[in-house]
Every structure is written in C-alpha cells, then in structure tokens.
Amino acid sequence: MPIASGLVSWRLVAYLEIRGVKKAFGKKRVFSNVDLSIRRGETLSIIGPSGCGKSVLLKMIVGLLEPDEGQIVFDDEDVTAGGEEAFVRLRRRVAMLFQGAALFDSLTIFENVAYGLREQRKLDEDQIRARVAESLAYVGLPGIEEMWPAALSGGMRKRVGLARSIASHPEVMLYDEPTTGLDPVNVERINRLIRHLAAQLSLTSIVVTHDFATVRSVSDRVAMLDQGAVRFVGTYDELARCPDDRVRAFVNGDPSFDAAIEETFGRKNA
C-alpha cells in the first residue's frame, strides 16, 4: 500500500487504473505489485530511482510491453483482457511523448507532425495541414512546417514531438522524461506547455520525470515507485512532508538511498 494518498475532491473517479501489475525481465524483477489510479483530467507525476520501471509502466499502458500479471483498466475496460484489439482502441485515445522526441530526421516538420494523422486515415490533406498548423501553434512553433529536425534545438524538437502527440486530439498524454537534457529556460517552457495543454485540451496527463522542478510545477498528485511497488501517492506538499525514511532520502538526494537499493536488490540478483 502507498504511504500517503492525496485527495482531489473534484476528481474522485478512476479513469486509468493499474491493478496488481507484476513485471520481470528474466531474473530482474521490476514490479512485484503495482496499484495506481489516475483520475480524469488530473496531471500525475511519477518519480522514483533509475531502473525502478517508470518508463516500463508507460509502455505497458499503451501495450508496448505486457504485464506478467495484473490488469490495466482504461475508462472501465480491462484492456489487458481484451488483447491487441483493446490496446488499439486505447491508443486512439492516448498519446505518448518519448524521451528523445523520436522525430524522423528524413521528414520535414510538417511530415513528422502529420505522420500519425495519415496513419489514422480520417482526415483529408487540407484537414491534415490545418491540424498540423494548429498543433504547432499550440506548442509555440507556428510556421516551421518546412524546416527539418536537424535545424532545431533540443527544446524545439521536444515541442515538435509534443505537437505530433497532440495532433490526434488524445484524451490522455503520457510524457517520458519531457525535460531531460534541456536548459532551465526550456525546462520551464515545457512545464508551461504541459500545464497549458492540460487546461486547454482537458487532458489527463502522466509525467515520468526526475526533475523536481517539473514535479512541483505541473502535478496535481505525485506517485513514487520504489522496490517494485508504489510507495507514495499524494500532492507535492504531502511529498515534501512525508515521514517515510525512503521517500525523504530520495527526495533529498541522500546517498543512503542507493545503499538501501543495493542491499535490497543486489543480494537477490547476485
């Protein structure tokens, strides 16, 4: 069970649920029992030590990885029981911004943002062009359709990746380390975009990050993964006041946290 549970009174109904999920890669156990509920319209940040499975959890939500046990329930549908067809339906409503933005260097910015729209085959070319322009404007990059990814800074590439993600008008956005490798100005720019998009597009957002400035800036709630489970769920203020020794050690950057990890996992995996 998690240490704390912050309650946002106007968001009580779970929209996306992770129930009893277990996952291992060979002898390496990543999740022993993960339970987590995300509420419609909230922004939940996921923190935890490197290797604890934060990105793995995002990939399981969209079906890129399968849990060994447990359920992923989206909008009251158990997608793990429904197989690939259920995950296809889920992916039409969920978008993911990968850590490196994952742009195609051989395509223009327009072609990059339009790529997913063309795959869906729901819009004609005029509608696609309008949707691309709209999405680039949302992330503060209007008029760059004919540029190439190589001409962009790291922060601009992240924003183009975000434009591509929101072009399909998702209901849920998954962010995998959205500010990694960016300078403080671009970190704040991305944080503002996450907040802006959540408000303007009524997105439910899950943000995997190591950046506590991002956690403080964008989060309605914070979940901490540790030792194969969810150790903490609550608001940022509750995180800062959490009495649990391991939560405090991680938040404060205490070197004793890593020593505890080695003691817990090192002997078992030796």
The answer to whether position 101 is within a domain reads no
Q: CB count, 10 Å around CB of 19?
A: 18
- pLDDT of amino acid 4: 47
What is the domain-level CATH number for residue 196? 3.40.50.300
Entry pTM: 0.85
- pLDDT of amino acid 155: 84
- pLDDT of amino acid 148: 95
- pLDDT of amino acid 254: 81
- pLDDT of amino acid 265: 46
Residues 143 and 264 in one domain: no
What is the Cβ-side half-sphere exposure of residue 258, based on CA atoms within 13 angstroms?
5
Q: Which domain holds residue 125?
A: 106-169
Is residue 36 within a helix (H) or strand (E), and if so which, with residue range? Answer: strand 28-39
Residues 79 and 181 in one domain: yes
Number of structural domains, the chain? 2
Tell me if 47 sits within 8 A of 224, measured CB to CB: yes
Q: pLDDT tens digit string along 175-197?
A: 999 988 888 888 898 899 899 88
Tell me if 158 sits within 8 A of 190, measured CB to CB: yes
Residues 180 and 80 in one domain: yes
- pLDDT of amino acid 269: 43
Q: pLDDT tens digit string along 211-249?
A: 999 999 999 999 999 999 999 999 999 999 999 999 999
- pLDDT of amino acid 214: 94
Residues of the chain with pLDDT under 70: 1-13, 258-270
- pLDDT of amino acid 173: 93
Q: Pick from 119, 138, 169: which residue ends a domain?
A: 169
Q: Pick from 125, 145, 169: which residue ends a domain?
A: 169
- pLDDT of amino acid 13: 63
Q: Is 214 exposed, middle or buried (0-12, 13-18, 19+ CB in 10 A)?
A: buried
Block residue for tokens 């704390």: 4
- pLDDT of amino acid 256: 73
